[in-house]
Amino acid sequence: MIISIFVFLVILALSIPAAILIVRAGFAAAGIRVQVEGRELLPAGRACIFMANHVSNLDPPALISHLPSRTAAFTKRSVMQIPVFGYCLKLGQFIPVDRDGSVSGAQASIAAARKVLESGLHITTFVEGTRSRDGRMLPFKKGPFYLAQETAAPCIPVSIYGTETLMAKGSFAIKPGRVHIVFHAPIDPRDYATREELSAAVRAAIASGLPEWMRN
C-alpha cells in the first residue's frame, strides 16, 4: 500500500518537469522496469500528438516520463476539480474533457489543445478514452483525430503493454514487473482524407506493437 500511495503521488507531480526523475525513482522502488523502443523515430523540434492504448493507471506515468520533452494531456474535467491534484494538472496545461458528449464541450477541448500545441508542448492522449478491462483494444474516440486534422500535428502511435498485470483496472495494488512502451513512426494526418482513415492507420500501428491477444 505504501508503494501504491507513492506512485500516485508521483502521478500528481507529472505537471512538473523535474518529476520525471521522481517517477522513475518511484518505479524503481516498486520493482517496475520500463523497456522503451522506437525513441529514434520521434521527430525533433515538432509538437506532436502521442496516441496510446490504455490498460492501467500506470500508463500515464510510465509513458509521460519517457517522452522526449514536456507534454500536456487530456483528462476528465472532474479530475481537474480535485483539490491540489487538479491545480497541478492546470499548471501542466492539462486539457479538461467533458464526458457528456456535447458538441460545445468537444469544441472547447479541441480549442484548448490547439493552443497547447501552438505553444510547443506535445499532447498525450489515450485514444480509447478509458482503460480496457481485459487488455484488449477498445474503439477509439473521435476528438484526437479531429485535433490532428485541424492542426496537422504529427501523430505518434504508442503501444503499451505489461502494465495490465502490474496494476489492473479496479485495483490499487502494484506488482513488480516489466512495462513495454513502443513508439512508432510518425503519421502525417494530411496523408488521410478522413478522420476514420487516420484513426484506422493509428490503430493498426498501435496494434502492431502489442501482443496478439490484445489486438482485438
Tell me: the pLDDT tens digits for 68-78?
A: 888 998 888 88
Residue 177 backbone dihedrals phi, psi, to 5 degrees? 160, -165
Using a 10 angstrom Cβ sphere, with 0-12 exposed, 13-18 middle and 19 or more buried, the burial of residue 118 is: exposed
The residue that leads in pLDDT, 210 or 6, is 210
Tell me: the pLDDT tens digits for 147-183?
A: 999 999 999 999 999 999 998 777 778 899 999 999 9
As a whole number, mean pLDDT of residues 106-130 equals: 91
The domains of the chain, with CATH numbers, are 2-214 (3.40.1130.10)
What whole-number percentage of the chain has pLDDT above 70? 89
CA distance 162 to 176: 10
pLDDT at 100 exceeding the cut of 80:
no
Residues contacting residue 67 through CB under 8 Å, at least 6 positions apart: 50, 122, 124
CA distance 7 to 93: 21
User: Which pLDDT does position 19 carry in this prediction?
Assistant: 64
CA distance 16 to 104: 30
pLDDT at 6 exceeding the cut of 70:
no
Nine cell digits for residue 18: 523535474
For CA atoms 51, 156, 195, 93, the dihedral sign is positive
For 33-95, the DSSP string reads EEEEE-GGGSPTT---EEEE----TTHHHHHHTTSSS-EEEEEEHHHHTSTTHHHHHHHTT-E
Whole-angstrom CA distances from 17 to 21, 31, 92 are 9, 23, 9
Q: Helix count (H) and strand count (E) of the chain? A: 9, 7
